[in-house]
Amino acid sequence: MTANSAENQPNVVLGVAGGIAAYKACEVLRRLTESGHRVRVVPTEAALQFVGAATFEALSGQPVRTGVFADVEQVPHVRLGQQADLVVVAPATADLLARAAHGRADDLLTSTLLTARCPVLMVPAMHTEMWEHPATQDNVALLRSRGIVVAEPDVGRLTGPDTGKGRLPDPAEIVDLARLLLAEPNALPRDLEGRRVVVSAGGTREPLDPVRYLGNRSSGRQGYALARVAAHRGADVTLVAAHTADLVVPAGVRLVRVGTAEEMRATMLKEASGADAVVMAAAVADFRPVELAEHKIKKTGRDPEPLRLTKNPDVLAELVRSRAAGELDTAVIAGFAAETGDPSTTVLEHGRAKLARKGCDLLVVNAVGDGQAFEVEDNAGWLLTADGTERPIPFGSKSRLASTLWDAVSEQLAAK
C-alpha cells in the first residue's frame, strides 16, 4: 500500500540511528531531495545526539519526530510506513538492527519499519567487532531472510584510530542503491552469496610518449555499478579498473588498478582463475603505438611522422579461448559491446556479430555517441545470450542495467 505525493515524487523515509556516521545522513538526504524525492527523516533519540532535528528539518522541509506520541492525530507510526515507497536506514547501528530483527516498536523508526510494505534498505555502520559479532550476523541474516536489503558495510577509517569493516558506504553509493530499489524492488537478492566474480572497468591508456597517450571516453561508471550491485547481492568481488573518473570504490569490493591493455590482459587472466563469473565492462583500447617515444614529441615546423599502431590483445576472446582449452574454469563469461550503427548495419546487428566472434555467454550491446553510454549516469541497450536469446534493456541507471545482467548470470550459474 504505497502512495506518492501530489507532485508524483517518490516518498522516502530516511531512518537515522545513533552512530557517529549519522552526520553522513545529511549528505544522503541532500542527494535524495535534490534528485526529486520527498524525504521524511525519522531519527532515533540517540541520532539527535549527533545531528540536531533542525538540520534534518531544514534539509528535508519536513518535521522531525522520534516518538509515537507526537502528532498523534496523524497516526505517524502507521502512516509513515504505509505511505512510503522506500525506507532507508543510514546508519543502521547494531542496536537498530537488533531491534528491527526482533520486531521491537519502541520508537517511531522501529514502528515505521513494522508497517512498511515497500522495499527497505538498511546500511550498517559500526565498529568491526560489533559487525562481526555472532549476534549481529544472526540479526542481519534474519532481516535478509525477510526480504530486507542489508547493505555491505565499507572497509576504512572508523572512529578514533581504528580501521576495519563497518564504515558507512559513501552517500552517493547509498543513494544509488535507493534509486535502484525504487526502480526495481527485487534488484538486490542475495543470489550471488558464496560466488566469486571479477569485473573490469574504465578505459585503458596506451602511452605515446611520457606525456601523451591513446585513450577513450569510458568513465568506468558501468563497471563500478556492476561491482557494487554484485557485492550487495552477496558476491566476493574483484574490480580490475583502468582509468576511471575519480569514482569511489564500492563497499565490499577489492580493487586492482591497471593502466594499459596488456596490463588488463595479464591481470584479468590471473584474477579469472577460480572465479564463478567474469564480466568485461572495460573499454580496452583496440590499438597501441608501435613505439613509445623516450621524450615528449615536440611540435616543430614540420609535420610529425605518421603514428604507427599495432593491435592490442582481445582480452574477452582470450578468456573464452582459455576456458575452452581447460585453462580457466570460469562458469560464465560476459562482455560489453559499445557500438555505433552505419549505413549498412545497425547497432544490434554489430552486437550479434561480436557475440559470435567473441564466443562469450552473455553480451550487453550499447549504442554510443550523442550522449549515450560513455560519461553519463544512465544506460540502455540489449542483452544477448549465446543461445540466441535477446532482450532489450530499458533506459535507466547503470546499476539497474547491472542488476539485469547479474540476473542473467545468476540464472546461468544456477543451471551449471
Per-residue pLDDT of the chain (416 residues), as tens digits, is 344 444 578 999 999 999 999 999 999 999 999 999 999 999 999 999 999 999 999 999 999 998 765 666 565 678 898 999 999 999 999 999 999 999 999 999 999 999 999 999 999 999 999 999 999 999 999 999 999 999 999 999 888 888 899 999 999 999 999 999 999 999 999 999 999 999 999 999 999 989 899 888 789 999 999 999 999 999 999 999 999 978 999 999 999 999 999 999 999 999 999 999 999 999 999 999 998 888 888 887 677 778 899 999 999 999 999 999 999 999 999 999 887 777 788 889 899 999 999 999 999 998 875 555 555 678 889 999 999 999 999 888 999 999 999 999 999 999 98
Bridge partners, 378 (sequence order)? 397
Residue 358 annotated as lining a ligand binding site:
yes
At 3 the pLDDT is 41
DSSP letters along 215-236, please? Answer: -----SHHHHHHHHHHHHTT-E
Residue 286 annotated as lining a ligand binding site:
yes
Residue 216 known to be catalytic:
yes
H helix runs in 273-394, sequence order: 315-324, 347-358
CA distance 375 to 399: 14
E strands along 127-231, which residues?
149-150, 154-157, 163-167, 196-201, 206-207, 213-214
Q: How many CB atoms lie within 10 A of CB 113?
A: 25
CA distance 307 to 347: 29
C-alpha cell of 411? 540464472
At 1 the pLDDT is 35
At 161 the pLDDT is 87
CA distance 407 to 192: 10
Residue 106 annotated as lining a ligand binding site:
no
At 5 the pLDDT is 42
CA distance 395 to 398: 9
Residue 296 annotated as lining a ligand binding site:
yes
At 374 the pLDDT is 55
Domains recognised in the chain with CATH numbers = 11-183 (3.40.50.1950), 196-296+306-415 (3.40.50.10300)
Residue 354 annotated as lining a ligand binding site:
yes
DSSP secondary structure code for residue 373 in this structure = S
At 128 the pLDDT is 96
Residue 315 annotated as lining a ligand binding site:
yes
Reported as type and span, the H/E element at residue 237 is: strand 236-241
Residue 250 annotated as lining a ligand binding site:
no
Instruction: Report whether 352 contacts 383 (CB < 8 A).
Output: no
Residue 313 annotated as lining a ligand binding site:
yes
DSSP letters along 30-63, please? Answer: HHHHHTT-EEEEEE-TTGGGTS-HHHHHHHHSS-
Catalytic residue among 4, 11, 139, 216: 216
